[in-house]
A and B are shown apart, each in its own frame.
Chain A
Amino acid sequence: MKKKAAARGATGKVTRGEVEDFLYHEAALLDAWRLDDWLGLLTSDARYFVPSNDRPEADPANTLFTIADDIDRIRGRVTRLKDKSAHAEYPPSRTRRLISNVRVVERNAKELRVESNFAIHRFRRGESIREYVGHYRHLLRVERGRLKIARREAVLDAMELGSMGVVSFIL
């Protein structure tokens, strides 16, 4: 898929199938805790957001979010998560992400806006499952023939975080 996108050199002909493959690949990297490889999928100005549950449509400049990372903070987050002293994720939880209903909702010459649904199950020893359900909003860019993530927003459906507790892993 990467080669095909390279051959076209633009977003115009990126198919939904290619976008789906890309999102599945991202999910597989995160579930496998291959966080450095995951960083490789991001643009150098990428951002990562998890809005507060009661303000899913807001702007992090004027609204308290759960997570609002620029690329430096994303890198810091990965550094932290790879450290055994990130106690909330040590031992690392196991996650399994199901991604579906992938739609390319907008595209221009440089970027694609993609929405998809996710259900992420998180398992820790001796604990009941924690379920994170919601939708992703990805802004994808084609850079040197490859799809890259310029922005990813994980919007949770629950009215409050409640029994999910924390968002200590990468959602």
Chain B
Amino acid sequence: MNDRPLVLNDPQAPSFQVNRSSMVDPGILELERRRVFDVCWIYVGHESEVRAPGDFRTRTVCGRPVIFCRDSKNAVRVFLNTCRHRGAMVCREPEGNAKIHTCFYHGWSYDRDGRLDGVPGEKDYPASFKKSDYGLKEAPRVETYRGFVFLNFEPEAMPLEDYLAGAKEYIDLVIDQSPSGQMEVIQGTQEYDIRANWKLLVENSFDDYHLLTTHSTWLNYLKNAGVEMKRPERGHLLPAHGVGKPLGNGHAVIDNVNFRGRPVAKWIPVYGAAAKPEIERIRAELVARLGEARAARVADTNRNLVVFPNLVLNDGSSMTVRTFQPLAPDRMRVSAWALGPKEETPTARAVRLDSFLTFYGPGGFATPDDIEALEAVQSGICATYKEVPWSVMSRGMEKPGEQLNTDELHLRAFWLQWDKLMRAEPRAPG
């Protein structure tokens, strides 16, 4: 693929185009697995999902089955979920707590620290067989930023904090919603497939250009519920101002003035009159803790953050953590969770979850239409990409200075990083 460009960036023209074969070609997905997913920091889960020694969750990260867990000292670990004997998946439950994981096939068992503990008929192995050589393999690198756990299959990768670059500031804004600085994943997982290439969901997750056309029924719902929406100001498409910003290493964000309500802490009529005092109390706590300016930053702006390549934090009508794994060029599996402050009251928690469902998720008033859009793109391009090879992504290219959330600078930032990695020669083996 190195001989044909997949991203055409011409700042002089100016024009920016993405080749549609990158969403269709199985060879490209193969290359992405090695050159993107195997060298980047990839989201595994949140610390709050495993709390006590022995807590575990099994999931697929970077195409590998992993056990995301706490060891005997309560440290977060990520083991490859494959038996060192002949490879069976050792843990087949979605979640739980265990002192020992036993592979049912021949009965090898591993302790919480991944050490091989029991081997039936151990004495019949040769003398050279040492149990200490056969612990569960771990992801080469596992690091955490403010509760978000990532792994990296590249042992030489830069530290997670360096990798996150400007995205850290936006993760910090999420964390500031909690008085103790602790956010937690709320139980209940939305796990669903989209029949589209994974990069289309990256684009869609912070593409505000589509809001009015794709989500008019959601906007109507808010209006009918009494949410005030201003006419767009000059030069804007949307009711409130918002910008798109690259954050380094392919991460980017849309950073918007809020009109849609936020559980922390901007009340809208959809929340119901009974919730108003609670939202006001949260707001007051925010101001007391952070000061007016920072509190307004947390509460009165909303942000969709893409952490390259496949983590999305939508800090909008509620707070979602969403990651997605490619299954095929035209299919991905999405996992999404709600995140909330650990000390949130039951009232505030209920508002947060209710607000989540107005927009997000496979039964929400907006996400299904996003999914429909991605599937429409995939259906549109899969058989025509040779005749119609290029998608256009040049909005805002001629504007000096600030770029709007409805421009495409932030989308271009993702694609440029993707292109850079896809062109990079892999390190020589050994």
Contacts and interface: CB of A to CB of B under 8 A. Distances in A.
Interface residues of A, number: 40
A72 to B, nearest CB: 7
Nearest to B215: A85
A77 B364 CA distance: 9
A64 B337 contact: yes
Given A58-B187, A63-B353, A80-B217, A162 B362 contact: no
A110 to B, nearest CB: 25
B194 A165 contact: yes
Interface string A64-88: 1111110011001101100101111
A167 B363 contact: yes
B68 to A, nearest CB: 15
Interface residues of B, number: 41
A54 interface: yes
A65 B188 contact: yes
B371 A64 contact: no
B372 A88 contact: yes
Contacts of A163: 193
Contact of B94 (A51, A65, A76, A159): A159
Contacts of A60: 350, 353-354
Contacts of A51: 188
Nearest to B217: A80
B220 A88 contact: no
A61 B353 contact: yes
B24 interface: no
Contacts of B363: 50, 65-67, 166-168
A168 B368 contact: yes
Most chain-B Cβ atoms within 10 A of its Cβ — which of A67, A79, A89, A160?
A160
B214 interface: yes
A142 B224 CA distance: 31
A55 B187 contact: yes
B170 to A, nearest CB: 22
Interface string B220-251: 11001100000000000000000000000000
Nearest to A158: B191
Contacts of A89: 368
B349 to A, nearest CB: 6
Interface string B340-369: 000000100110011011100111010111
Contact of A63 (B186, B191, B369): B186
A64 B338 contact: yes
B94 A54 contact: yes
A86 B217 contact: yes
B283 to A, nearest CB: 21
Contacts of B353: 60-65, 68
B217 A53 contact: no
Interface in B152-192: 186-192
Given A76-B224, A79-B220, 17 more contacts: A61-B350, A62-B187, A62-B349, A63-B188, A64-B353, A64-B361, A65-B357, A66-B190, A69-B357, A73-B357, A79-B221, A80-B217, A80-B218, A83-B217, A160-B192, A161-B362, A165-B195
18 contacts: A52-B188, A61-B349, A61-B350, A62-B186, A62-B346, A63-B353, A64-B337, A79-B217, A80-B217, A83-B216, A83-B217, A87-B214, A161-B191, A162-B333, A165-B193, A165-B195, A167-B363, A168-B372
